[in-house]
Every structure is written in C-alpha cells, then in structure tokens.
Amino acid sequence: MSSKFNTNLPFFTFILILFFSACLSDDSPATPVNAGAACNLAPDPIFCKQVLPPNKTDSIYNYSRFSFAKSLLNAQKFANLINQYLSRPKTLTSAALQALRDCQFLCNLNIEFLIASSNVVNSTTNLLDPQTELIHTLLSALLTNQQTCLESLQSSAQAWSTKNGITSPLFNGSKLYSVSLALFTKAWVPNKKKKSSKNSFVSMRVPQVKDKKKKKKPPHHGSRSLLFHEVDLDGDSGLPLKMSDEKRHAFGRRKLLNDSSDPVLVANYVVVSQDGSGNFTNITDAINSAPNNNNGSNGYYLIYVTEGVYEEYVNIPSKKMYIIMIGDGINQTVITGNRSVGDGWTTFNSATFIVTGQGFVGISLSIRNTAGAVKGQAVALRNGADLSTFYDCSFEGYQDTLYTHSLRQFYRECDVYGTVDFIFGNAAVVFQNCNIYSRVPIHGQSNTITAQGRTDPNQNTGTSMLNCSLLAGADLAASPGAAITYLGRPWKMYSRTVIMQSFMDSLIDPTGWMPWNGTFAIDTLYYGEYANRGPGSDTSKRVNWPGVHPVMNRTDAANYTVSNFLLGDNWLPPTGVPYFSGLL
C-alpha cells in the first residue's frame, strides 16, 4: 500500500481509511509484528533488536515469553559468575566479599522471580488483574536487584576493579530485564488498573474466618487454628508456654484488631522473652522455628516478642512466609543494632532488621540503628518482602533509616526518624497515618525525607504518603535552623513520590524538592502533592521542574492509593491492619 492517501477518494471513504489505519497502529498484543516494531516499546530499542530473533514476525505475547527465557538464562549465567568469584575468597577483601554476597543473594532472588513469572505467562494469555500485578511487581524487582548489586560493587574498590568481568554482564542483564518488563507491560498490563474482588488475589493469602460467633480454643494436639484476639492463655490452652501470670494475662487480653470486625487466623505461635519465661530468649531462634514455605492457607505463624531491648540482627528469609511478629509497643519491644557503611558494611547489609519473607506483618515494635549520623548510611529496616505490612512500629536512624527495597509494602501508624534520604528504595509502598520525623544531621547537611529509586519507566514502583505528618524531631525542633529539610530528591532517573492529604510543618523548605546532581532526572521524575495542609504545604514556591506536580488533581492522586497502587483490597484485609482504600 502506498504511504500516501489517494485524495481523489470520496470524503467518507477517506475518513474510513484514516480510522482503520489508526486502529492498525495500535495492534493487539496477539497481532504478529516484526522485531523492530516490538522493540519500539522498549527503552533501548537497539539493544532489544539484539535480543529478539531477527527476520521473524510474532505476537508481543510470544516476544515477551522469549525475552523471559533469555532473561532466566542470563540470571543463571550471572549467578555462576558470582559463584566463581566467591569460590576464591582468599583473593578478595572483606568489602569485596560482602558486595559479591549481596549480588549472589539478589541474583538468586531474580532466578526465583523469573521462574515464577515464566510459569504463569507460558501457560496463558488471559491473566487476572492480580496475576498481572504480581508479575509486573516481580519484573520491576529484577531491575531493582540488579541496581542494588551494582551499588554494592561500587562500594568495594576491589570488586569494582573487576568491572570487565562483572559489571559488563550486570549492565547487559539490566538491559535485558528492561526489555522483558517493557514487552510484558505492553502485552498484559492494562492502561488503567481494574479493581478486583478480595477473593481473586492469586498470590498466597490468609483466609478469613467467617463464623465469628463461636470462640475457638486451640486443640491440645495437631495444628492450632487460633483467632488471635480470642487466644486464651489463662486456662488450659495446651500450648507449650512458660509465662508469668502477669505476662499471660496481658497477652491474653491483647487485641490485634481494634477497628476491624474480621479476626486474624493464626496457625501457631511462640513467645520470645529475655527472662526465659517464653519459648525462646532471642528472636532469631523463634524465626527458625517457623515452618518453611508456609502458604498462609492455615493462618499466620505468630511470634510474640515481649518487652525488652534485643541487641540482635534479625533476618526473616524468603522461605519464612506469613509470619506476624508482635511486640509490646513502641519503645517497649526494641530491636537494635549499629552496623553502618562507615564501619565497612554495605548499605544493603547494614540493616538491623531484614525481611524478605512474603506476607510478613510487624506490629508494635521499635527497630533502631544507633550508628549515628557520622557513620553515614546505616539502615534500621530493610524490607524486600512482597505483601508486607508494618503497623504501630517505629524505625529510628539517621541516614538511610528505612530501606523500602522492593515489591509491595504498606505502613500504617508508624514513626520514622532520620536525616538524609531516610525513606529510600524502589518498592511500591504506601504510608498512611505515619509520623515522619526529621532529625539534626551532620553540620552542613540538608535533610531529605525521601530518595525514591525507580530506574525504568515501566516499573510499577513509587512512594506514596497519605494522611501522614511531616514533623521535626525533638532535636531539630529545639534547633530549627540546624538544617534545611526537603520532601525528597531523585536518587534514580524515574524517581516517583507523592504526598497526599498530609500535614507538613514549617520545617519543609518552600522549594519542596532538592536536586540530586544538577539537572539529573528533573524531566523524568514524578513528584506530586495533593490537598496537603500545614505551613510547609504552600506550593507557590516549589521548584518548577517538568516532573514536579505541586497541585495534583483528585483523579491523578487516586492512582497512588492502596486500592489502585497496591491492589491492597485484595491482600490487606487478612492482616487485620486498618487502612484507607482510597483518598480521604
């Protein structure tokens, strides 16, 4: 067909041709196209053409599946490469070993994510919305894991000196995963997310108990199906607990759900108490006691951590799924450590508390990193657990306090303390009703509350705050001129942060957002504000970067709510944690 229209055709026929041409330009993912046309969807079309088979026409669905297979092969080869370096530990410095172990851990996660994603897309073209969201999340995390590996390598001079052997396949892997993400997004991700019913969520979830009339006590033998707020530790529960009468009474009357009518199903539970009155005296042993690969169908594994200061580095690995950990309250149950980059740790492994086990719920805990501002990056919590929730917790540190690393996360009624980039990472995360406290940093530093790390335009990640309070900590309130405080700065090219219906105190600088380095990312970031209040919420002097939206409309703001951004209506109810589905 000629590239020009025949202008001698009747007008109506001419309009029909225009219409059908427009339709063909937006082909269905099932329509065969050549590799060049498919690669126009990717951020790097030239690299994409090197990945897809040449001289062939196929559907976007099949190109996507092909790229998944290539990505999995790449991840496996990279894992072998890392293992080769680690097999010669005497040739490496401790810093290089740490960096390579970070990469090993992250690459193994990528292999898991790619296998899980491939199994789904290879079986059907008709994905449910929750299936689509899950795979979109896993593919977004691939790139985050690659970037984190690179950052750990950059922190080690020796590992970085091997860049020809490590960083080249690392960069190529990132570009390949970007292709897979782009093709999947085009083939399966709808332009606008659709709400799903609660029960359609395909990832592991905990069922709710329908019969709330009868109270259930745990049986003496076999599995224990408990309703947490109906747990009776005063009588003949038959559970292996050694608790004082006072502790038993306090725990027995405690209610997880104050605002919800649905109980939380608990399959089994243990108690951690430093005085020896529980099942364990440390948290790590309690975590080790949890079953591996619990799918949540019979309920959560509950770990109750009694009041005390636990000087312990806690790690909940990916095989420990659907754990609820409950303490006695903020500043009552305290988990503390002091690892930092200043003392030779990578940022990734400086965390006091690490969680990657899906479905984790943390309640009424304080998690601290006491390294101090002078030690640089020092993480209190690193969260890479999908469908994870924290409620009534505090996270205390200075630089890089809360590492919302990847996947889907929710925080409700939590306190976060820090200075530089103290809420950072590349998860899809929503904060609700949280207090965000800026502290006094090192002299000459500015405070930046967020540093969101989205690296690809197709990632479904970002940081959203709803009905939160952005405040000065006690030290900064006493010395209000000690530091300028900004809402955030763009850590990565497609950084995305929105703050909605929140209170901003006078500590927030009128310009709002701080540059990272010159004009880096100011065109490609997305920073939004909607219906905020307080003296720091005046947007009239905000920076005029193209990516800044100081006055979002309600429709745009709604995209970053629990319901739309996290599809949280599908997985938050079983946790028992209260939440707002949409805007206030």
Active site residues: 400, 421
SS3 430: strand
Q: Supply the Cα-derived Rg of the chain in whole angstroms.
A: 25
What's the rounded Cα separation, in Å, for the pair 21 and 13?
12
Instruction: Tell the residue number behind the tokens 């002091």, with chain if given.
Output: 338
Q: Looking at this protein, which amino acid is placed at residue 241?
A: L
* Secondary structure letter of residue 308 according to DSSP: E
DSSP string, 504-535: E-TTB-TT-B--SSTTTTTTT-EEEEES-BSG
What's the rounded Cα separation, in Å, for the pair 298 and 224?
9
Closest CA to 423 of 342, 499, 502: 499
DSSP string, 260-324: -SSPPEEEEEEEE-TTS-SSBSSHHHHHHHSPTT--STT-EEEEEE-SEEEE--EEE-TTS-SEE
Determine which helix (DSSP H) or strand (DSSP E) holds 24, and give its type and residue range: helix 11-24
SS3 of the chain: helix, strand, coil, percent, to 5: 30, 20, 45
Q: Degrees (nearest 5) of the Cα angle 473, 391, 255?
A: 125
Are 371 and 342 in contact by the 8 Å Cβ rule? The answer is: yes
What token pair was written down for 154? 């950059």
* Secondary structure letter of residue 320 according to DSSP: S
CB atoms within 10 A of CB 336: 18
Strand ranges across the sheet with 394-396: 308-311, 333-337, 366-369, 394-396, 415-418, 435-438, 469-472, 503-504
What token pair was written down for 516? 């990272």
Determine which helix (DSSP H) or strand (DSSP E) holds 80, and give its type and residue range: helix 60-86
